[in-house]
Chain A
Amino acid sequence: MSLHELTAHRDPQDLLCRFVPTPLRTRFRHGVARVVVQTNDFSLLPALPLDGEPKQAHKPVFEWKVIRDLDATGPLGEPVILDSQLLTVVGLGPACLVCVDHERKELLGFIGAQIDARTYQEFLVPFFCRLSDGTGLDDSRLPFGKEREENHGT
């Protein structure tokens, strides 16, 4: 299956892109937690230390499902953050939509076509880690704002 086949999902019965196949999987460590990642794009596999311990090891598990969304074009937009006890939702325009379900320990996200690997690995992955462990919104190192503008001119 080519990358294009994996990402160009056009199912009239799935207009929300819920059922985009995510055949690429990995596990990595984040603090004491194990994070299981599913995605449809190699470049969205986080460049973080892999978790080589057996699955049975007793570690808290967080699950990420991150979809490369070829229909969402444009750069990261102005952040909109909604935060409740159960869900944290962050929208950076169509180029990045992410939701963390704290109770179910799931991070669900869509990454637009124009978000390159560097932006994803350097800014979004650390941001997702902080969202997953609950510190993301108290941290100024977010993937947008002044620092990012200076570094990347976007």
Chain B
Amino acid sequence: MVKRVFERQTLPFSTDFSLAGTRCLLSTNSHEILRQAMRWQGSAPASGERTFWMEMMEDPSFKCEERALSHFRGLRHVVLANIESKAFVAFDLLRKRVMGVICPAVARDDSFWDQRLLPVTIGVLGTTLGVAPLHCACLDRRGKALLVAGASGAGKSTLSAALAQRGFAVVSDDWSYLSRTPGGLIAYGLSATVKLLPDAVRFFRELHGYSTRKTFNGEFAYEIDPVRTLSSAAATSSKPQWLLFLERTVTRGSHFIPCRSDYARQFFEEFAERLPEELPHMRIARSEVINALSACRCWIFRTGESPQGAAEAIQKFLENSDHVAA
């Protein structure tokens, strides 16, 4: 049995980095973990209330397992996560603290940090920091964000990939992290990979030569970098402007049905995770973000077209919408 004690003597190195508009003060015992944090440095530091503390220990005695699924549980203000048996992490939402242990191989693995550990961290802790994780894709066009929401399986990711082929920059294809700032609402993405289910190969020739793999939630899918695979642009944040609720239909054609802000508010509140009573400010903060997002122009987008056909319809619609707004 190995007990890992988290204190100043055991975690002698420290630095800070930015994550979806928040600031993380990191303590560690590892040069590799410091290097990971430094890759996320650069943007302006967030204010004090958006600061959290992460204590991350690299430990050769921590046994990583290959191909293990993640396991998350939470009670009250604490969330415990075994992330693919590569990291064991505890989140204290009350005190905005994270402590965890990882093996050396994972400490060096950039993709684990970018696609697993950091998204999980902001997904669990974000709402305590004023950053609401919302289940929607986010695409940037000239500094304005199109958010695409819809039920699981509606085709958000394939539509995102098709929009990326038409010049939209992918900020996120699944979870977007929204935050109110003095300059308005901002949507952040972490690690802009796009997850496409195996049948997407029918619509994207670029996937030939790639193979599917088990993703975070256990299903098999392509996980592609849209910049490399689809030659699209990339963006890490954007300002929400338009909101589409994607609905697939069996009949061909695409239709944009204007909807009221109440519809958007209800949609996101209904799909949102229940939050613990011990942290009432989390619910308030998330509702404030959802209210701000609901003020965007929003439509229900019903389409029976291919992803490319739907993307073309959206592009034309937004161009017309821009003219109307101008």
Contact = CB atoms under 8 A, between A and B. Distances in A.
B4 A91 contact: no
A87 B92 contact: yes
A35 interface: no
A87 B78 contact: yes
Contacts of B95: 86
What's the dominant secondary structure at chain B's contact region? strand
Interface in A87-103: 87, 89, 91, 93-94, 97, 99, 101
A75 to B, nearest CB: 15
B6 interface: yes
Interface of B: 1-7, 55, 62-63, 71-80, 82, 88, 90, 92, 95, 97, 99-101, 271-274, 276
Contacts of A89: 80, 90, 99
Given A65-B76, A83-B5, A15 B273 contact: yes
Contact of B78 (A13, A17, A99, A145): A99
Contacts, number: 94
Interface residues of A, number: 37
Interface of A: 11, 13-19, 65, 67, 69, 72, 78-87, 89, 91, 93-94, 97, 99, 101, 106, 108-110, 137, 142, 144-145
Given A13-B274, A69-B73, A97-B80, A84 B3 contact: no
A81 B6 contact: no
B155 to A, nearest CB: 19
B3 A18 contact: no
